[in-house]
A and B are shown apart, each in its own frame.
Chain A
Amino acid sequence: MTIFSSLSMLAATAAPKPMSPILSGPPEALLVLALPILGVILCTLCAIMRVRTRMPAFLTVGCLAAAFAITVGLYLKSGPAPVITSGFEWINLSWGDSAGENSPFHQFIANFSLYLDALTVLWMLFVTGLATLIALYASEYMSGDVGTGYCRFFAAFNLFVFSMSCLVMGDNMLMLFLGWEGVGLCSYLLIGYFYKKPSAVEAAKKAFILNRIGDLGLLMGICLTYVHFGSIEYRDIFAQAQPYIDAAKAGRYSEIPAIVQLIPVLLAVGAFGKSAQLPLYVWLPDAMEGPTPVSALIHAATMVTAGVYLVARMYPLFLLSEIALPLVGWVGALTALFAATIGMAQFDIKRIMAYSTVSQLGYMFAGLGVLTSTGAAFHVVTHAFFKALLFLSCGAIMHGFAGQLDLRKLSGLRRMKGWGIVSLGMLVGCLNLAGFPFTSGFFSKDMLIGEAFVTPGTAPIGWILLLTAGLTAYYTFRVFFRVIVGPVHYEPGDELHSAHEEHAHGDSHNEHAHGDSHNEHAHVEDDHQHHDHGHGGHFHPHAPGWAINTVLLTLSVLSLAASGLYFVPTGVHGGAVPAMVDRSSAAYQSPFAHHAIPEGAGDGGHEGPDHAAETVPSYVPTSIAMEDPHAVEHPHENAGTFLGWDPHAVLFYVSGAVGFIGIFVAYVLHYAGRTTAATARADALLPMLGPIPRWAQHKWYVDEFYNLVVRVPLLALAHTFHLIDKLLVDGLVRMFGAIPRWLGTLIRPTQSGELHGYAAGMATGIAVLLFIVFMLTLR
């Protein structure tokens, strides 16, 4: 009936046939996208209907839990080959003569379709799972804001899960870009959730803009991919790249054109932006201005791993480039070290966690760079659990102590009533992060470091990572020893206090909300007084409730159990994560690899691709191991060693020892003999190090450097342009207008305004005319 339906019918008829055969995927995969959108709509409705209960949270938890259940179903169903679930047409262009239509280069297709392979499912499992848990946590954490703010929070939360799902599940790069920018938007909205705080707004803006820089790289990468491969759908790209892959396998990199080698570099720029790597990492620590559940979900567990996902997804292309993977590896390693040094000198525990996130993301990139996509993916998973746990524990502390995050003002939480689970969560998280033996963090980190030593030429990366492991253990346990154990002492923060005050202030202005919010208003006033008492010395931290404790406990268990994902055989091949990675586009069989899999468990774990190659259609990129004759015949001769030993054999002990050293140093400096919250033995050491701790505390002045080098010149340029626009460009135009005006002023005096003057002029004119006529005619 309507035009739009006729238009859409037209679009449906115009849809061309797909290029390659599609193994059609399960349609319920689309529900994984639809459920969070349903959540967005429900939360928006709640906002419109001014719901003042915790309903939006429970709706969100319901939607996300359902999405998680479906994802689990997808996992159980997933076969060895990727499948594509068709959604609907998004962008579809075609050109050229009729003969060439429906072939690559003659059409541009980006559909809302889902590409489901093991990598997708792996990512979706922890994205939806963690999102459900964190939504549950947030239902309690955000309860102070019940009302429109609460609805806004959960709407954005759902939108985030939707965007992340698009990013991970999309079957083409533009869909990935959609999710990529979508998570950026949600990150922007959620960092700026406390929008009355200028610092939060500033941080949100910074995150979005810095991400955009990376996005430009990604966008250019997409364009280049399209121009070169004629498609941006993964299956077509991988099919088109097959000749190059073959060339790369044979080690003939010279056959791969420079332009193909440039694609992964551009993609990597995008990944560096999203995953907060050097030089674009500065937004992530500032992003901690957002509510803590957001930090846990977006800025620790899921969104920031999108860059890792991108590299893993496009791993076949990265393997084609001689520069891309070393670039990724080195950037990752340097970021890991750099962020760790900053993390050591911070006092805000949430910031410390943020820098540790940057650092751990560096590990993942380094892992990708040293050719262990399995290790990187495994670290993504374990990190997601333990970092979410750490953040949520920090959040519980922040929640209970009115926004206090300074480790000099909190101490001895363990001994306070009701804080047991939080303390436990912190302990488990710290152990994982520090790489304490037999935690999941230990195994995943060890894989990365070990592989760095195995892969030829990347040993320096290994050393950097090893050093960083020690630093990580130190700064992690610095937090633990300062905050959780030691003498009981606390000072309340003032963040919630001021936020509430502004809230009340805003309400008194708002005529509409006044009546409705009367109760809440009173409550806020109450709280307000409560805090005032707190300053007077009667502040009572309120311990977390059941939702927070449940989530923390669950995550503690999960993050310890995550190591099982690697070791427990799933019946197909090896542990769950390696098996899944090996069945995806990120599969890579290093000729040097002999991962530290315990005998029996990882039996034949890395033969997966070769098995799969028989059943999988040709467009599935399989293992792209370099078939360099040397490497294949004598792989172990080329493989690197760790000081002459087999890296995987000794690094268990080495990295364990490094971790212990870090923890011990933290123990000595921050626990032993500490009697107050504010000071520790470490303070005595500081003067010996000169200005270095101060520089580190100021984040090596990177923000200031960027400001000076990028922002200030640009701003100056902007002002110059503005001036030019006003004076020069507009001036030129005005000049054209001014010339007639100037001419006018010249002859202006002749216009006396007197009637006789005009009459005399006319008469003279006629006389002159007559004279001329006479002279001409009477000649």
Chain B
Amino acid sequence: MNTVWTLAQAGYPAALPEATLAHYLFVSAAMFVIGLIGFLTRRNLIIMFLCTELMFQAAGIALVSFSRFHMNMTGQSFVIFIVTVAAAEAAMALALVVLLFRKRESLDAEEWTELKG
């Protein structure tokens, strides 16, 4: 029944025995909230973008930790995709931000209200 699969299941490394799932999730939640607050309060497009990345990675951490907890590799493979996509996305987004900056000479998010109904 209790087949040991990984070192972690075997209690290794023993140096951080107290780092349970709750800790990881706490970090994840903290990162997400920081990202959210940052996104809602800051106006600079680049900062806002970084905040979204922060939230993104928070979600990634949660995924990895659950994956680790449940011994189901789907979550981790998912995160690998997310990281790749995030990289591509970062490249795209920064390019867009540069383009937007060229148009208005500003990085203020309030400048862009094209979607106003």
Binds B, one of A89-97, A528-536, A556-564, A745-753: A745-753
Give the distance in Å from the alpha carbon of A748 to the alpha carbon of B115 in the complex.
11
The answer to whether B116 and A755 have CB atoms under 8 Å apart is: no
Q: A756-B40, A759-B39, A763-B36 are in contact. Are A751 and B48 (CB under 8 A)?
A: no
| Cβ contacts under 8 Å, A751 to chain B | 115-117
> In residues 49-102 of chain B, which contact A (Cβ within 8 Å)?
none
The answer to whether A754 and B109 have CB atoms under 8 Å apart is: yes
The answer to whether A753 and B117 have CB atoms under 8 Å apart is: yes
The contact of A752 among B48, B109, B113, by CB within 8 Å, is: B113
| Cβ contacts under 8 Å, A759 to chain B | 39-40
Give the distance in Å from the alpha carbon of A754 to the alpha carbon of B108 in the complex.
11
CB proximity of B85 to chain A, nearest CB, Å? 20
Query: Chain A interface secondary structure, helix, strand, loop or mixed?
Result: helix
Give the distance in Å from the alpha carbon of A756 to the alpha carbon of B109 in the complex.
8
| Cβ contacts under 8 Å, A749 to chain B | 117
CB proximity of A754 to chain B, nearest CB, Å? 6
Q: Is B12 an interface residue (CB 8 A)?
A: no
Q: Is B105 an interface residue (CB 8 A)?
A: no
The answer to whether B117 and A748 have CB atoms under 8 Å apart is: yes
Residue of B nearest to A766 (CB): B36
Give the distance in Å from the alpha carbon of A756 to the alpha carbon of B113 in the complex.
10
| Cβ contacts under 8 Å, B5 to chain A | none
The contact of B109 among A748, A750, A755, A763, by CB within 8 Å, is: A755
Q: A734-770: contact bitstring with B at CB < 8 Å (1 yes, 0 no)?
A: 0000000000000011111111100110010000000
CB proximity of B41 to chain A, nearest CB, Å? 8
The answer to whether B113 and A753 have CB atoms under 8 Å apart is: yes
Give the distance in Å from the alpha carbon of A760 to the alpha carbon of B113 in the complex.
15
| Cβ contacts under 8 Å, A750 to chain B | 117
Give the distance in Å from the alpha carbon of A755 to the alpha carbon of B107 in the complex.
13
| Cβ contacts under 8 Å, B116 to chain A | 751-754
Interface centre among B40, B43, B110 (most CB of A within 10 A): B40
The answer to whether B40 and A753 have CB atoms under 8 Å apart is: no
CB proximity of B36 to chain A, nearest CB, Å? 6
CB proximity of B37 to chain A, nearest CB, Å? 9
Q: Is B18 an interface residue (CB 8 A)?
A: no
The answer to whether A755 and B36 have CB atoms under 8 Å apart is: no
Give the distance in Å from the alpha carbon of A755 to the alpha carbon of B113 in the complex.
8
CB proximity of B113 to chain A, nearest CB, Å? 3
Q: A157-185: contact bitstring with B at CB < 8 Å (1 yes, 0 no)?
A: 00000000000000000000000000000
Give the distance in Å from the alpha carbon of A763 to the alpha carbon of B48 in the complex.
15
| Cβ contacts under 8 Å, A760 to chain B | 40
The contact of A754 among B36, B39, B48, B113, by CB within 8 Å, is: B113
Residue of B nearest to A751 (CB): B117
The answer to whether A753 and B115 have CB atoms under 8 Å apart is: yes
Give the distance in Å from the alpha carbon of A759 to the alpha carbon of B41 in the complex.
10
| Cβ contacts under 8 Å, A753 to chain B | 112-117
The answer to whether A763 and B40 have CB atoms under 8 Å apart is: yes
Interface centre among A748, A749, A755, A760 (most CB of B within 10 A): A755
| Cβ contacts under 8 Å, B113 to chain A | 752-754
> Which 3 A-B pairs rank lowest in CB-CB distance, beginning with the nearest?
A753-B116, A751-B117, A753-B113
A-B contact list, 7 entries, CB within 8 Å? A750-B117, A751-B115, A751-B117, A752-B113, A754-B113, A755-B110, A756-B43
Q: A residues engaging B (CB < 8 A)?
A: 748-756, 759-760, 763
Q: A753-B115, A756-B110 are in contact. List 16 more A-B contacts (CB 8 A).
A: A749-B117, A751-B115, A752-B113, A752-B116, A753-B112, A753-B113, A754-B109, A754-B110, A754-B116, A755-B110, A755-B112, A756-B40, A756-B43, A759-B40, A760-B40, A763-B36
